[in-house]
Structure 1
Amino acid sequence: MTTTDATDTLSVRRRGPSMADVAREANVSGQTVSRVSNGRSNVDADTRERVLAAMRKLGYRPNSAARALRSGRFHSIGVIMFTLSSFGNMRTLDAIAGAATDAGYSITLIPVPHPTQGEVSVAFDRLSEEAVDGVIIVVEAHLLDENDVVLPAGLPVVVVDSTAGGRYPMVDTDQAHGARLATEHLLGLGHRTVRHIAGPERSYSATHRREAWEATLREHGADVPPVLVGDWSSESGHELGLELARDPDVTAIFAANDQMALGVLRAMHEAGRAVPGEVSVVGFDDMEESRSFWPPLTTVRQFFGEVGRRSVEELLHEVETGERGGRTLVATELIIRDSTARPSA
């Protein structure tokens, strides 16, 4: 190594490698390095690999702030999420992160511990301090119809699993269709009616499932019994299941999620009521563990991965074109296992 080369290398180490350093190392123009850095496709494969090898050798990282100034984009998505503990939200978040990565975007996550109007507005205030191109809101509650939720003007927003009053594109599971599938399955087996353990009253998903359950019973001329309200937990399903187990007329139960259905199964076992011999039980979600319940649970499958992917697609479409989407519903599927059967004579 000559004295000049050694001096140049020491200078790179002190100030960090520049685009010019990469161009010199790869023996290409600075414009070519810029194209590779920005993910452009008009660079042949051999040249691209040579530039990438030079970047790795020198430890060069593209300056995202400078790139944002040139392009007007930060290649980052904000995600506001009500809870990180629920099965559906974690699956949706995983899909959002994967789809964002595939599109060359990072995500900034802002959890909202208590889904009130004020908390959502505070989350947006926090995101306004971050460099994001758009926001996906996963707030499983009736919030965005409220007038006091102030969202920043001009920032693309997609809402998942909540209401948006028509102001923003929405992506969601077809909750109503899933509840109809569950209720019609039980009625089709010959049960005279279906009891329902709903999710929390503030929940958007729970409301749509409960309304579809009731409408389906009425359409089939079945009695509409009182609704029992749980909190999505297996503990609440167990408590309410014990209440239903004491009623000999109860032969079919539709729980608004699999965790509450698990609690119902335990309650029936403790009360000495056989499932599905005396009582049929259906859940909603199709958690991985549902097939390992005893008996394996009949349930409505939600495609959380598709919901997450579609929400990123809708958001990036608006970011890139300025065109706002509408309402996207992802289909559900009834998965029939061993927890449902015809009522005993």
Structure 2
Amino acid sequence: MAAGAEALHFRVDDGDPHDRLDKLVVHLLERAGRATSRAAVQRWIAAGRVLVDGEPARASVAVRSGALVDVRPEEPSPSAATADPGVAIPVVYEDEHLLVIDKPAGLVVHPARGHASGTLVNGLLALPGFALAPADPRDPMGHVRPGIVHRLDRGTSGLLVVAKDEPTREALKARFARHEIEREYAAIVAGEARDATYDTLHGRHPTDRLRFTSWVRSDPGAGGAAPRRAVTHVRVLERLGDAATVVACSLETGRTHQIRVHLAERGRTPVLGDPLYGKPPKKPAVRAIAEELGRQALHARVLGFIHPATQRPVRWESALPADMRSALDQLRRLATRSSI
């Protein structure tokens, strides 16, 4: 077996999944408190790090009850990002397994083209909790793999959870996939919104690769990525005349730009200030408020889930940031003057 981390040994029981080795190993690791992605397990199998009765096997092979499975995890590849203590990260909760931050608008989550530094990941690497992964002391490089399990757009503010170790990361990813995370956003939208549930397909825009759309076919055609289901529940919180509405948006799914797409395309009430899916408001006073805001008026205000380590429910709320409060106050005054 390839060298690396210490080996884990399992005997396959009747109740374990037998149809594929990769599926079985994911199940065994999760049961042992070492949750790992299926893609990682498949890499280990291909590298000879998984043995069945002492012999290498393919990921697709069926495994009999009673078989002995030996797994030697490989060290995850470290991120190329470097620590940047100059990135301000407002932490609202932290323990040895995860932390929750209140991301300010304008902060990019991870390095990408055009944003090689100054991101949330760079800032995380400078935090004490990421100098060593305390939940897994056998992983000395854990501090350079901050566990991003979901993202917020650069112009969106609010609550975001980050895992400190691989079991927590994989458990949170599984909860997101099973739609077991409570997420609610507050948005100021242009126009008169209504209570609604938008249940649509969601995929890339056919002509603008920066955008997504709900107007997609179930069959994308040759070479196209299959669209996925997106569900957003919209609830009106406050009406600001006919110019704007404050809404709460709860997510069942978490597709890229999902709320922004649904509010713009299905509700015909784009998020105020949205540079990608919105248009400048017709009313000069509202347009000036949107320009002063300088970003989409969207804030992740509620985040809740079952903590992977303690199995207890945890939940956080975040108040609107100052720029959205200022925009809201101006819209309220505008609505009052318009009603006189």
Relative to the length of structure 1, the TM-score reads 0.29
Higher strand residue share = 2
Structure showing the higher helix proportion among its residues: 1
Higher relative contact order (CA 8 A, sep 6+): 1
